[in-house]
């Protein structure tokens, strides 16, 4: 049931506050309210959120700090990144108490604004009335002193609350790869892996993001450009494996016989490394899950008549791969890559087996007779929205879904800096940054999947 709401239309930048009441009887879990008045700048804070874009049943976890205890508009500003779908979610202090509610963001990933929990304490009585307030109510409740206030002040000065983790360095774990995609120069990162084959031989590979590697591939190794040789691709996991012409000192030792893979536990502290050796800290934000192919669906630009058998084309979009291939409305589809398509319900599932850039052969008939054409499917491209959540530096990865057995973390890895390795603070290899999914989320293909790919390749 909706209760009171404070919404000052004259000053829309001021936090808007509202309350609801659960009317069904029952024992519900709850979080303790903290005190926003006792916050300290740089104090660690934790966020859990249900971003609708990931469509998961469990929230993702993010770690940050208090950047401003109270800004000019009355908001807390934190570095726990937010995106659409998070609004109304909780911001916790490091004691697990709610200190604010997610409200708004700006373009910078450091600009995340929270409604202070003390506003609810101050106007608790007023908000229990079913009323819309156009200004802060005159009736105020007493906001007591936080019983942990002195402790928070003391702990904020202790190094234990701001630990300088000693990163277990792995020399030469990440390199930059250069290639050409559609006539444009492209850079992406890659992990250097040291593999012991079943025969006992030692081999060295570069592992990277397949859709960000094109032709004329070269690796930048300590300022020297070294050609590399393509070994294998894994389209399902967007992985590509290369061999180097010469051995390099360092790299990640990957035991392909290792069945004791790392555990994907939310809250685990992680770090990524770029080619310059820069460390990017993060927190493991999810359990393992599958991410369906939605944004990464291939684009044909054709539709078929519902329930038709034989299958007839009903719509061909201008300048689409289908139109360029010569397919027209009313034409009868026979097969895709040799697979007979006998009824309309078989058409979409068959197309979804492919990826953007895949080459397909269509066979169809029209008034002129039987036609046969091989062509490439396009990508669907990025949707453009005028929202701060879509304007973060580097943007989203073009291929960012259609993965199985992945996990997320909150590192701000740029789309063109994926391919870099992910470790925990003990130096255990966790996987490869495969895609920047959104403002808050980078996706990791985990170690187990990489081992399976490498093992299949060298066997």
DSSP 289-302: EEE-SSTT--B--E
pTM: 0.90
Determine, yes or no, domain membership for 335: yes
Take residue 409 and report the two structure tokens written for it. 């973390």
Q: What are the CA-CA distances from residue 58 to residues 39, 51, 89, 155 (Å)? A: 28, 10, 13, 31
User: Residue 162: pLDDT above 70?
Assistant: no
Mark which of 129, 161, 193 sits at the end of a domain. 161
Residues 72, 189 within the same domain: no
Residues 262 and 367 in one domain: no
Say if 278 falls within a structural domain. yes
| Whether 108 and 66 share a structural domain | yes
- For the segment 379-406, what is each residue's pLDDT rounded down to a tens digit? 887 676 788 888 899 999 999 999 999 9
Residue 179 has pLDDT above 70, yes or no: yes
71 assigned to some structural domain = yes
**Does residue 381 form part of some domain?**
no
pLDDT one-digit tens code per residue, 93-141: 999 999 999 999 999 999 999 999 999 999 999 999 999 999 889 999 9
CATH of the domain at 110: 2.40.10.10
Residues 313 and 224 occupy one common structural domain: no
Residue where one domain finishes, among candidates 161, 189, 209: 161
Same domain, 441 and 365: no
Q: Give me the residues paired with residue 180 across strands.
A: 185, 215
CATH number at residue 193: 2.40.10.120
Q: Which pLDDT value is given to residue 160?
A: 64
Backbone torsions φ then ψ of 275, nearest 5 degrees: -60, -25
Is the CB of residue 206 less than 8 Å from the CB of residue 241? yes
> Tokens 């979009």 sit at which residue?
317
Cis peptide before 221 (omega within 30 of 0): no
Q: Is the domain of 285 the same as that of 332?
A: no
- Please give the residue range of the domain that contains residue 316: 302-372
* Per-residue pLDDT tens digits for 310-334: 999 999 999 999 999 999 999 999 9
Cα radius of gyration (the chain) = 27
Same domain? 197 vs 133: no
Overall number of domains in the chain: 3
CA distance 62 to 22: 27
Whether residues 278 and 314 share a domain: the answer is no
| 147, part of any domain | yes
* Claim to verify: residue 222 and residue 353 sit in the same structural domain: no
Statement to judge: residues 187 and 247 lie in one domain: yes
- Could you tell me if residue 387 is inside a domain? no
In percent, the amount of the chain with pLDDT more than 70 equals 96
The answer as to whether 377 is a domain residue is no
3-class DSSP state of 159: helix
Whether 52 has a pLDDT exceeding 80, the answer reads no
- Say how far residue 434 (Cα) sits from the centre of its chain: 9
CATH number for 358: 2.30.42.10
User: Which of 281, 283, 287 shows the shortest CA–CA distance to 265?
Assistant: 287
Closest by CA position to 327, among listed 307, 301, 347, 309: 301
- Give tens-digit pLDDT for 192-222: 999 987 777 888 999 999 999 999 999 988 7
Among 138, 161, 184, give the residue marking a domain's end.
161
**Is the residue at 146 inside a domain?**
yes
pLDDT score at 163: 62
Rounded Cα–Cα distance for residues 151 and 39 (Å): 11
Contact at 8 Å (CB) between 8 and 123? Answer: no
Same domain, 346 and 419: no
Same domain, 28 and 134: yes
């Amino acid at each position: 049931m909706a209760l009171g709401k404070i919404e000052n239309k004259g000053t829309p930048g001021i936090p808007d506050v509202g309350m609801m009441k659960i009317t069904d009887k029952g024992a519900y879990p709850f979080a303790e309210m903290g005190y926003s008045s006792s916050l300290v700048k740089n104090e660690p804070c934790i966020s859990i959120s249900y971003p609708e874009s990931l469509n998961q049943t469990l929230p993702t976890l993010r770690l940050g700090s208090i950047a401003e205890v109270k800004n000019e508009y009355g908001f807390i500003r934190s570095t726990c990144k937010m995106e659409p779908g998070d609004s109304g979610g909780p911001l916790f202090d490091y004691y697990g108490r709610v200190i604010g509610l997610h409200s708004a963001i700006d373009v910078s990933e450091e600009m995340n604004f929270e409604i202070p929990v003390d506003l609810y304490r101050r106007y608790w009585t007023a908000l229990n009335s079913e009323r819309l307030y156009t200004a802060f109510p005159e009736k105020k409740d007493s906001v007591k002193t936080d019983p942990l206030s002195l402790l928070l002040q003391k702990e904020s000065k202790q190094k234990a609350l701001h630990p300088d983790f000693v990163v277990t360095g792995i020399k030469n774990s990440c390199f930059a790869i250069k290639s050409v995609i559609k006539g444009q120069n492209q850079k992406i990162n890659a992990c250097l892996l040291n593999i012991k084959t079943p025969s006992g031989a030692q081999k060295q590979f570069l592992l990277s993001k397949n859709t960000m590697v094109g032709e004329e591939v070269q690796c930048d190794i300590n300022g020297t450009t070294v050609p590399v040789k393509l070994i294998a691709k894994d389209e399902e996991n967007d992985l590509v494996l290369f061999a180097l012409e010469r051995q390099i000192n360092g790299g990640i030792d990957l035991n392909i016989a290792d069945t004791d893979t790392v555990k994907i536990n939310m809250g685990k502290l992680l770090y990524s490394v770029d080619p310059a050796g820069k460390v990017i800290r993060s927190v493991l934000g999810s359990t393992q899950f599958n991410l369906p192919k939605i944004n990464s669906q291939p684009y044909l630009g054709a539709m078929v008549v519902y329930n038709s058998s034989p299958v007839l084309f009903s719509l061909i979009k201008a300048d689409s791969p289908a139109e360029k291939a010569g397919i027209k409305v009313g034409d009868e589809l026979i097969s895709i890559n040799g697979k007979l398509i006998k009824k309309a319900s078989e058409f979409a599932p068959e197309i979804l087996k492919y990826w953007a850039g895949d080459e397909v052969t269509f066979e169809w008939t029209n008034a002129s007779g039987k036609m046969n054409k091989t062509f490439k499917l396009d990508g669907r491209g990025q949707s453009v929205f005028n929202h701060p959540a879509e304007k973060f530096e580097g943007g989203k990865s073009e291929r960012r879904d259609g993965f199985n057995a992945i996990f997320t973390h909150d590192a701000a890895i740029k789309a063109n800096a994926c391919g870099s390795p992910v470790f925990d603070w003990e130096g255990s290899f966790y996987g490869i940054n495969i895609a920047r999914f959104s403002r808050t989320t980078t996706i990791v293909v985990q170690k187990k999947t990489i081992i399976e790919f490498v093992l299949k390749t060298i066997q």
